[in-house]
Structure 1
Amino acid sequence: MKFTVMHIKLDENRIESEEIEKPGIYGIIDYGLELHENLETHSINPYDPKNVVVMGMGPFAGSVLPGAHRLIFFFRSPLYGTLFPSAMGGAAYAFKNVGVDFVTFEGRAEKPVVVLFYNDGKNVRVELHEIELEKVVKIWRGYKGEEGVYALTQYLIDTFGERFDFEYRIAVVGPASLNTNYGAIFSQALRKGKRLVGSEDWAARGGSGSVLLRAHNVVGIIFGGKSRKRNFPGEDISNFKTAKEIVEGVHKKPYNEIIAEKTTKYRFNPKLNTGGTFGGNYPAEGDFVPILNWGMPYIPKE
Structure 2
Amino acid sequence: MKDYRALHINAADGSSELRKVDDPRVMGPVDYAWRLGDQGRKHTTIGSGPIAGSFVPGSNRLVVCGWSPLVDSFFPSTMGGAGLPWDGIGANYVAISGKAAQPCVLEIYNVKGKLGVTVEPIDVETVWKGHGDQHGVYALMHRVYEEHGAQWNAARVLCVGPAAARTRAGAIASAPIKGGKISHVDTWAGRGGLGSRLLREHNIAAICFGGDYEDVDLTDRKLVDGMFAEKFGKPLKMVDLEKTTKYRFDPKFKTGGTFGSNYHNLRELVLLFNYKSVLLGDEERLALWKRLIEAHYVKQFDEEIVAEKKNFNCGEPCGAVCKKVHGEFKKDYEPYQTMGPLTGIFDQRAAEELNRYADACGFDGIQIGGELAWLMECMKEGWLGADVTGIADKPEWDTATLDPVTSSAHNASIGKRLIRWMLEDPRAAAAREGIRTAARTLGGAAAQAAVYNANGDEHGCMVPNQYWVPGVYAPMPIMGRYYIDYGYDWKPPRELGKKCADRMVQELMIDNYGMCRFHRGWAETLLPEIVNDFFGQKLDTTAHHLAIAREISADYRARPWETERVLDIIATYLIHARAAGCKDEGLSGWIDRFQKDKQAAGLAYWQEIHDGVSEKLKG
Which TM bucket (shorter chain)?
0.7 to 0.9
RMSD of Structure 2 on Structure 1 (CA): 2.4
Structure with more strand by fraction = 1
Aligned pair partner of 2:100 in 109, 113, 130: 109
Aligned pair partner of 1:213 in 196, 199, 221: 199
Q: How has the CA–CA distance of structure 1 residues 167 and 247 changed in structure 2, closer, same or farther, with 3 Å as cutoff?
A: farther
Q: Tell me what 1:63 maps to.
A: 54
Q: How has the CA–CA distance of structure 1 residues 223 and 262 changed in structure 2, closer, same or farther, with 3 Å as cutoff?
A: same
Deviation at 1:70, TM superposition (A): 0.2
Aligned pair partner of 2:138 in 140, 150, 174: 150
Deviation at 1:281, TM superposition (A): 4.6
CA distance in 2, matches of 1:245, 1:116: 40
Aligned pair partner of 1:182 in 150, 161, 169: 169
Structure 2 counterpart of 1:148, one-letter code = G
Structure 1 counterpart of 2:142, one-letter code = Q
Q: Tell me what 1:44 maps to.
A: none
Deviation at 1:177, TM superposition (A): 0.8
CA contact (8 A) 1:25 1:31 kept: yes
Q: Tell me what 1:268 maps to.
A: 249
CA distance in 1, matches of 2:39, 2:74: 11
Deviation at 1:141, TM superposition (A): 1.7
Identity of aligned residues (%): 35
Deviation at 1:40, TM superposition (A): 5.5
1:1-302 to structure 2, matched below 5 A, reads 1=1, 2-35=3-36, 38-39=37-38, 50-131=41-122, 135-164=123-152, 166=153, 168-197=155-184, 199-226=185-212, 228=214, 230-231=215-216, 237-281=218-262, 283=265, 286-287=270-271, 292-293=366-367, 294-295=462-463, 298=565
Structure 1 counterpart of 2:85, one-letter code = A
The number of residue pairs the alignment matches comes to: 281
Q: How has the CA–CA distance of structure 1 residues 68 and 260 changed in structure 2, closer, same or farther, with 3 Å as cutoff?
A: same
Structure with more helix by fraction = 2
CA distance in 2, matches of 1:278, 1:51: 37
Q: How has the CA–CA distance of structure 1 residues 276 and 101 changed in structure 2, closer, same or farther, with 3 Å as cutoff?
A: same
Deviation at 1:278, TM superposition (A): 4.2
Of stretches 74-83 and 264-273 in structure 1, the one that deviates more from structure 2 is: 264-273
CA contact (8 A) 1:161 1:193 kept: no
CA distance in 1, matches of 2:100, 2:239: 46
CA contact (8 A) 1:56 1:102 kept: yes
Secondary structure of 1:39 counterpart: coil
Instruction: Give the structure-1-normalised TM-score.
Output: 0.85
Instruction: Give the structure-2-normalised TM-score.
Output: 0.43
Deviations 1:168-200 (A, max 9, x none): 111110111111111111111112321122x21
Deviation at 1:121, TM superposition (A): 1.7
Structure 1 counterpart of 2:237, one-letter code = N
Of stretches 172-181 and 152-161 in structure 1, the one that deviates more from structure 2 is: 152-161
- In structure 2, runs of 5+ residues without a counterpart are 276-332, 339-365, 368-461, 465-472, 474-564, 570-619
Q: How has the CA–CA distance of structure 1 residues 124 and 193 changed in structure 2, closer, same or farther, with 3 Å as cutoff?
A: same
CA distance in 1, matches of 2:95, 2:149: 24
CA contact (8 A) 1:77 1:206 kept: yes
CA distance in 2, matches of 1:147, 1:118: 26
CA distance in 2, matches of 1:159, 1:187: 16
Deviation at 1:4, TM superposition (A): 0.1
CA contact (8 A) 1:6 1:16 kept: yes
Deviation at 1:66, TM superposition (A): 1.0
CA contact (8 A) 1:32 1:54 kept: yes
- In structure 1, runs of 5+ residues without a counterpart are 42-49
Higher relative contact order at CA 8 Å, sep ≥6: structure 1 or structure 2? 1
CA distance in 2, matches of 1:25, 1:161: 31
CA distance in 2, matches of 1:20, 1:74: 17
Q: How has the CA–CA distance of structure 1 residues 81 and 210 changed in structure 2, closer, same or farther, with 3 Å as cutoff?
A: same
Deviations 1:214-259 (A, max 9, x none): 111000001111152x325xxxx32333322223332222332211
CA distance in 1, matches of 2:463, 2:191: 13
Deviation at 1:140, TM superposition (A): 1.2
CA distance in 2, matches of 1:79, 1:167: 31
Q: Tell me what 1:45 maps to.
A: none
